[in-house]
Amino acid sequence: MSVTLNSGFKMPVLGLGVWRMEGKEIRDLIINSINIGYRHFDCAADYKNESEVGDALAEAISTGHVKREDLFITTKANHGHVVEACKDSLKKLRLDYLDLYLVHFPVATKHTGVGATGSALDEEGVLEIDTTISLETTWHAMEDLVSLGLVRSIGISNYDIFLTRDCLAYSKVKPAVNQIETHPYFQRDSLVKFCLKHGISVTAHTPLGGAAANTEWFGSVSPLDDPVLKILAVKYKKTVAQVVLQWGIQRNTVVIPKTSKLERLKENFQVFDFEISKEDMDLIKKVDKNLRTNQPAKFWGVDLYA
C-alpha cells in the first residue's frame, strides 16, 4: 500500500525508522524487516548510522532479498551544505540515488565538515545555528539535487504551517513530503490538512508517541497507555500500537514506527487487515492532548519550537 507523491513517485504508507539503532542490531533489523515485507526505511545523517544501514541494504540487495527499485530510502540533511551532505549520505548508504531527501529541521546548524554528523554545540551546550543560511537558500540547493539526478523527491521535516507556506511560495520544485511528529496525543490536524490540501504528503515520525523510549528520554506520556485506545484494541482484536498505526494510515499519513524487537516488527506490519470505523476515528480525535513527546531541546540546549 502506497501514496503517490507530487513528484509522481510512490511511497509505502508504512516504513521503519532507524533512529537510535546501532551496530549489528541494524544489520539484523534491516534484513528481518525486509523479510517481513518492509520496503520503506527512514534514515538521517544525524542518526550517525548511515554506513551500517548501507551495509545492511547492500547485503539484502546482493543476496537477492530485495531489488533496489523496490526499496524507498529516505535520509535527511542537517546543515546548509546540501549537495555535499547528500553525496556523503549516498556514499555511506551505498546508493546511487535517494528516493526522498529531507531538510531535517528548519534551521541550518554550524558546518563542521562533510560527514561530521554531530550537532555543533557552543561552550554552554547550546546548538550553534548558522544565521547566514536561509531556508530558501537551502531549499534551492535541494532542488539542485533533483536536477543532478541524486534524489527523486525532496521534502521538509518539522515545518509548521507558516514555514510550509513559505516553502511553497519560494519553491520551483514543491516539497513532496513534510515529516512531522504526529500521533493520537499530538494530532496537529490543522497542519496535516494544510499539507494535504496543497499536495504535500505527511509522514508521521514518532507515530506511536515514542512509547517507552520517549518516556525514558523526555519524560513524556505514551498514548499506548490511553484507556480509550486500549478499549478499541480489544474491540478490533489488535494491539494498541496496531490501532494507532492504522489510525495514522486512515488519516492519510505515512507512518514510520521504530522498533528493534522482531515481534514488534511483525506486529507493526500487520495493520492492513482491518479498518477503524468513522465513529471510532472520531473517538480517537477526542484523546488529543497537543502533547509533543520528542524534545530535541534535551540535546541542543534550545527549544527550536519556542
What backbone torsions phi and psi does residue 130 show, to the nearest 5 degrees?
-85, 110
Cβ burial of 56 (10 Å; 0-12, 13-18, 19+) is buried
Contact (CB, 8 A) for 270 and 1: no
CA 17, distance to chain mean position in Å, is 7
Cα–Cα distances in angstroms (integers) from residue 187 to residues 68, 292, 293, 297, in the given order: 34, 10, 12, 21
What backbone torsions phi and psi does residue 141 show, to the nearest 5 degrees?
-70, -35
* Catalytic entry in 38, 47, 159, 185: 47
For 137, the enclosing helix (H) or strand (E) is helix 135-147
User: What amino acid occupies position 168?
Assistant: L
What is the C-alpha separation between 16 and 233, in angstroms, rounded?
22
| Number of C-beta neighbours around residue 296 at 10 A | 17
For 211, the enclosing helix (H) or strand (E) is helix 211-218
Active-site annotation holds for 47? yes
Name every residue whose Cβ is closer than 8 Å to that of residue 186 and which is 6 or more positions away in sequence.
209, 288, 289, 290, 291, 292, 293
Give the residue from 65, 87, 62 showing the smallest Cα distance to 75. 87
Name every residue whose Cβ is closer than 8 Å to that of residue 39 and which is 6 or more positions away in sequence.
12, 15, 66, 70, 71, 72
Catalytic sites, residue numbers: 47
